[in-house]
Structure 1
Amino acid sequence: MPDFATDIPVRLGVQIAPQHHASYAVIRDAVTRLEDMGVDILLNWDHFFPLSGDPDGTHFEGWSMLAAWAEQTERVEFGALVNCNSYRNPDLQADMARTIDHISKKGGDTGRFIFGTGSGWFERDYTEYGYEFGTAGSRLDDLAEALPRIESRWAQLNPEPTRDIPILIGGAGEQKTLRLVARHADIWHSFVSPEDLPRKLGIIETWAEKEQRDTASLVISNELKGRDESDAQALFDAGVRLFTIGVSGPDIDFDGVGRWLAWRDGLNG
């Protein structure tokens, strides 16, 4: 296997999917409970309408929510899984991320924000909010243009971010997405199976060689929903060190999260 960040503790991220079909009180309480349980990362998403159930059900905007989480939480890292690059100017995204990073700086030396991003895909968001949908390829090209601007803006802001804000890129397309991962990402997130993961990592490594990028610090992330412990172990063996699990509400399965936390703790000794 190529040289990725494997000599690190396993972490568990929870995506709070009651961002739709729930009151904000449910979301706020879930954030507090999950942080108290010992979850490492809390995640939401960047959509304007529900992705399942009643398409016109209740829903809240993601970046505003992340700013609230920055103030509410004390320890946990957090971000979107993932931000849609199409919805906001790249320099604005950088400034929003930097501001949330500073809000989240509490007792430690740095903030806790993770900049998770992707090219976007949910057509209704685009059409109802007035964005050009384009094509999958054009949206990825836009992301490729945006990421250097975001990184450049971070270097110009006053005050600057409290740390090198980690960039998480989601997706598994081999010609464009994985090249962006090789060039920019600190974390690569996907739903790739344990069997196919080594091949995808090899593609990232090939792109990294072209980009003259060392992947030794790249963290591999994958989703647990619908998988059991044997699948998770296979993902771990393939190099995954950040596992995510989505919870949906309003009746959140905290016991299920607890089981995965116990699994994480068993791996970390």
Structure 2
Amino acid sequence: MNEYYKPNFERECEQLVNNELIDRNWFKTIIKLLEQGNVALIRLGKGGSESKVFSGGIAQIFRPQHKNIKKDPNKDKQVDLKYIQGVYSEASTIWLAANSKDATTNLLPFGWALLEVDPKSENEALKTWCEQQPKPDFDKAAIIAEREAKKAALQQQEAERLAKLQADQEAEQAKQTLLNSASENQKMVLLLVEKYHASRERQVDTSSPLLKETKDLISYAIEQWDQLDKQFIAQHISVELIKTRIDLKKKNAEKDLQKLLNKLSA
């Protein structure tokens, strides 16, 4: 495996070292680990596919002419990336990893991994090297906890949505059942109650058509309805319901409404 991957790794790292993008000492420690014979180098992921395919001259790349002068913001020099049209035996793209998007030095070649080969005991050299590497600047446990909390919150929201949907469906079904079994007088009461629930627009008692309709129906019920229908309107129409839509501004308006409602049970 090292015979296959090591030449590509060395060639890539030499180029990066020469451009002062990675640290030479870091590169040397990798080579030293590979020389022990119990550590293998492997290229992972999409970023390494080109070096796998083009290794050994199996395939080549045709590249048109392209020139891009890139100025290093931290150094008084330019990196000339000039490609001449032709056929090439290797890819030109090298992927790098960094601790921040603005980093230009001490980067790491992306897509390489070390494998511990047939470990019969702890590989102290590899263990020491791993311990010396930069650690990710994040709290894994906190990230997992936050993710689980968001997941639980979404599940709770979905459960509440489904519960509300079921409650609305049951309420609608109950309302329809009640409407189907109601007398004509009771249907007028239910339709009036629905008007109170159908909108949040508020009205003032001095000019409220909804309040006038309510008082007219109550007065008509007092004079014309039987006791059963009177009890029905008394159960469904209350001062509290009226106040959900009507602002009672007149003097003694609430008291007068309650007196009118009390006549239903007289």
Is this a same-fold pair by TM over 0.5?
Answer: no
Instruction: Say which structure is richer in helix.
Output: 2
Q: Which has the higher contact order (CA 8 A, sep 6+)?
A: 1
Task: State TM-score, norm by structure 2.
Answer: 0.20
Task: State TM-score, norm by structure 1.
Answer: 0.20
